[in-house]
C-alpha cells in the first residue's frame, strides 16, 4: 500500500531564480506517478460535496478515481462531459475557494489537489494527441453569433457546435481568447494551450472573425435581421479599467493593469524592439491591488526587469483576492508586499514621470458589508514610496460599448447586462449574455458556467419556442 500523504503532492515548478527572465510556464504539471499518488488521497466520498463547489459541476470523484486507477483517458472523458476547457481551468480556477474548499479532508489535512489533477488529465490527453473533438454528423440550419471570444464565448461556441449549430464568434481584438489572451500572462497560461483549444473549435466548424467590434462594425440588429443569426450570446466581459481617482494618476508611468498586461501579453512589449509596442518599466514598480490580476502584473514587472516590485494593498494577506498559488509564486519571485497601505496620490517630476506614491498606513477595524474587516487610516502615518512605474489593478467595470448601441438590452446601475442567472436570457428576445458582462469582474470558471447554461437555453430557445408553447397549452387543457 502506498503511504497516503497529509499534504498535497507538490507540483514541480521552475526554480524561482530561473523565472525572473523567463516567460515560460512556472508550474510544470504532475508526472503520471505524482498524479496517481495525489489521486489516492481522495476518499471517494459517497456524496462528493466538492462537486457542489464547481460552477460547471465537473464529476470530480469519478475523474479522480480514473486517475488513481491509471486510466487517464477515462478521466479526461469524465472531465469533458462538463468542462470542455480543462487545461485552462486546471491552471486558472481559484480551486481553494471552490471545489478544494469543500473537500471533506480540508482542515484536517490539505485538500486533494483537484486543480492539479484536472490539469494533469487535460495535459495527458493533449500530449497523447487524443483531444480531437468530432463534429456531429447532422448540422442544424440555425446560425448563432457569439460576441467575444473569452471563456464564456468559447464555452457557448463549443456546446452549440457540438449540438450542430452554425456558430460564428466575433472578436474585437486581432487575437482570440479575450482575457485568456490579453490578460493572463504566458507564464501562467501558455498561449499554445489557448491556440490548441481554439483549433479544436475550428475543427468542429466554429467560424472565428477577429477585428469585428459588435455594436460598431456590425450592430446586433444587423446580425439578427440581415445576417440571419437566430440567437446571439453576449460575452463581452468586464473590460473597462477602474482608476483610483487620486491626484497624479495620469502621470507618465501610471498604467491600468489592463493596459500594462495588454501591452505585454497581446502586443509582445516584452520583445520590444522586435515588436513595435513598448512598455515602460522602471526599476521600482508598484502594483495597487491584490487580486489575481495584481499578481500577474507584479510577476510581469519582475520579468521585465524591475529591481523592486511591490504589491500595495489597503487590507492584509487574509483579505486579498488572489489565488494562493499566484501569491505563493509572486513571493518566491521576490515581490514585496506592502499590506495595510492606501495610496493617496502620485508625485511626478518636471517631465511628468511618476516618481513617488504618497501612502497612508491602515489598520483593520470592524467588518464591513463584504464581511472583511474594514481598513481604517492610522492618523499621521503618511509616507512616500519611491516608484517609477505604477500599475493599478483594482478591478474592471463591464464594457459599455455593446449595451450602449443595442436597444432593449437592460443594464443595472453598475452597467452589468441584466440576465437570468439560470438561462442567460436578457431583456431582449434572442439575446443571451453571460460572464463578466453580467456579473462584473469574476472568474474564468464562472464565465464558463454561465456560458454553459446560456448555451443550453439558446438550444431550447431555438428549437423549442413553439414546442414549449404547445406543451404548455396542452398541460393547461389537460387540467381538470
Q: What residue ranges bind other proteins (CB under 8 A)?
A: 172-174, 182, 210-213, 216-219, 239-241, 243, 245, 250, 252-253, 255-256, 258-259, 262-263, 267-268, 272-278, 280, 351-352, 399-401
Nearer to other proteins, 39 or 269 (CB): 269
Report the alpha-carbon distance of residue 160 to residue 4 in Å, rounded: 42
Nearer to other proteins, 440 or 456 (CB): 440
Q: Cα–chain-centroid distance for residue 51?
A: 19
Reference 344, options 290, 385, 297, 315; nearest CA is 385
Q: CB 320 → other proteins: shortest distance, Å?
A: 23
Q: CB 473 → other proteins: shortest distance, Å?
A: 42
Q: Could you please report the per-residue DSSP string of 204-225?
A: TT-EEE-S--BTTTB-HHIIII
Strands 166-170, 207-209: pairing is parallel
Contacts of 106 (CB under 8 A, 6+ apart): 100
Query: Grid coordinates in use for 466?
Result: 413553439
Distances (CA, A) of 82 to 198, 327, 448, 460: 18, 29, 10, 18
Report the alpha-carbon distance of residue 468 to residue 117 in Å, rounded: 41
Nearer to other proteins, 273 or 480 (CB): 273
Q: CB 25 → other proteins: shortest distance, Å?
A: 22
Report the alpha-carbon distance of residue 125 to residue 75 in Å, rounded: 10
Q: CB 143 → other proteins: shortest distance, Å?
A: 17
Look at residue 459 and give its three-state secondary structure. Answer: helix
Nearer to other proteins, 55 or 343 (CB): 343
Nearer to other proteins, 72 or 260 (CB): 260
Nearer to other proteins, 90 or 282 (CB): 282
Report the alpha-carbon distance of residue 122 to residue 90 in Å, rounded: 8
Reference 389, options 451, 310, 463, 458; nearest CA is 310
Distances (CA, A) of 440 to 177, 237, 413: 18, 8, 11
Reference 291, options 376, 368, 417, 396; nearest CA is 396
Q: CB 158 → other proteins: shortest distance, Å?
A: 24
Nearer to other proteins, 276 or 363 (CB): 276
Nearer to other proteins, 158 or 182 (CB): 182
Q: CB 181 → other proteins: shortest distance, Å?
A: 12
Nearer to other proteins, 256 or 411 (CB): 256
Query: Grid coordinates in use for 39?
Result: 489521486
Contacts of 137 (CB under 8 A, 6+ apart): none
Query: Grid coordinates in use for 274?
Result: 522586435
Amino acid at each position: 500500500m502506498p503511504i497516503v500523504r497529509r499534504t498535497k503532492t507538490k507540483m514541480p515548478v521552475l526554480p524561482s531564480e530561473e523565472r525572473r527572465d523567463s516567460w515560460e510556464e512556472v508550474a510544470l504539471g504532475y508526472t503520471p506517478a505524482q498524479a496517481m499518488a495525489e489521486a489516492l488521497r481522495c476518499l471517494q466520498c459517497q456524496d462528493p460535496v466538492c462537486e457542489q463547489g464547481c460552477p460547471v459541476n465537473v464529476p470530480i470523484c469519478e475523474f479522480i478515481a480514473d486517475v488513481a486507477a491509471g486510466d487517464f483517458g477515462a478521466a479526461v472523458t469524465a472531465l469533458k462531459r462538463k468542462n470542455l476547457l480543462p487545461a485552462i481551468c486546471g491552471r486558472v480556477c481559484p480551486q481553494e475557494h471552490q471545489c478544494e474548499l469543500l473537500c471533506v479532508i480540508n482542515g484536517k489535512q490539505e485538500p486533494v489537489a483537484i486543480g492539479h489533477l484536472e490539469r494533469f488529465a487535460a495535459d495527458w490527453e493533449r500530449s497523447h494527441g487524443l483531444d480531437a473533438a468530432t463534429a456531429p454528423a447532422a448540422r442544424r440550419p440555425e446560425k448563432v453569433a457569439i460576441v467575444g471570444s473569452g471563456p464564456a464565448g468559447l464555452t457557448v461556441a463549443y456546446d452549440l457546435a457540438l449540438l450542430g449549430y452554425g456558430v460564428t464568434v466575433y472578436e474585437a481584438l486581432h487575437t482570440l481568447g479575450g482575457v485568456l489572451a490579453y490578460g493572463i500572462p504566458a507564464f501562467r497560461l501558455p498561449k499554445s494551450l489557448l491556440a490548441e483549444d481554439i483549433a479544436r473549435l475550428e475543427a468542429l466548424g466554429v467560424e472565428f472573425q477577429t477585428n469585428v467590434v459588435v455594436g460598431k462594425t456590425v450592430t446586433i440588429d444587423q446580425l439578427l435581421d440581415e445576417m440571419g443569426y437566430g440567437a446571439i450570446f453576449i460575452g463581452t466581459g468586464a473590460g473597462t479599467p477602474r482608476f483610483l481617482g487620486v491626484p497624479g494618476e495620469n502621470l507618465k508611468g501610471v498604467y491600468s493593469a489592463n493596459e500594462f498586461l495588454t501591452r505585454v501579453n497581446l502586443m509582445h512589449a516584452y520583445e520590444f524592439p522586435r515588436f513595435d509596442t513598448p512598455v515602460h518599466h522602471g526599476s521600482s514598480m508598484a502594483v495597487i491591488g491584490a487580486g489575481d490580476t495584481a499578481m500577474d502584473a507584479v510577476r510581469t514587472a519582475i520579468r521585465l526587469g524591475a529591481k523592486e516590485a511591490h504589491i500595495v494593498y489597503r487590507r492584509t494577506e487574509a483579505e486579498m483576492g488572489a489565488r494562493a498559488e499566484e501569491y505563493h509564486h509572486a513571493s518566491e519571485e521576490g515581490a514585496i508586499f506592502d499590506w495595510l497601505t492606501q495610496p493617496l496620490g502620485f508625485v511626478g517630476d518636471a517631465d511628468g514621470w511618476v516618481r513617488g506614491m504618497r501612502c497612508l498606513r491602515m489598520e483593520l477595524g470592524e467588518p464591513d458589508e463584504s464581511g472583511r474587516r474594514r481598513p481604517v487610516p492610522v492618523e499621521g502615518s503618511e509616507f512616500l514610496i519611491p516608484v517609477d512605474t505604477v500599475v493599478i489593478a483594482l478591478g474592471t467595470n463591464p464594457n459599455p460599448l455593446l449595451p450602449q448601441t443595442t436597444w432593449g438590452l437592460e443594464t443595472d446601475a453598475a452597467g452589468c447586462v441584466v440576465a437570468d442567472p439560470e438561462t442567460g436570457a436578457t431583456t431582449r428576445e434572442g439575446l443571451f449574455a453571460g460572464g463578466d458582462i453580467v456579473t462584473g469582474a469574476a472568474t474564468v470558471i464562472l464565465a464558463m458556467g454561465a456560458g454553459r447554461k446560456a448555451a443550453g437555453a439558446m438550444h431550447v430557445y431555438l428549437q423549442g419556442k413553439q414546442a414549449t408553447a404547445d406543451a404548455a397549452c396542452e398541460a393547461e387543457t389537460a387540467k381538470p
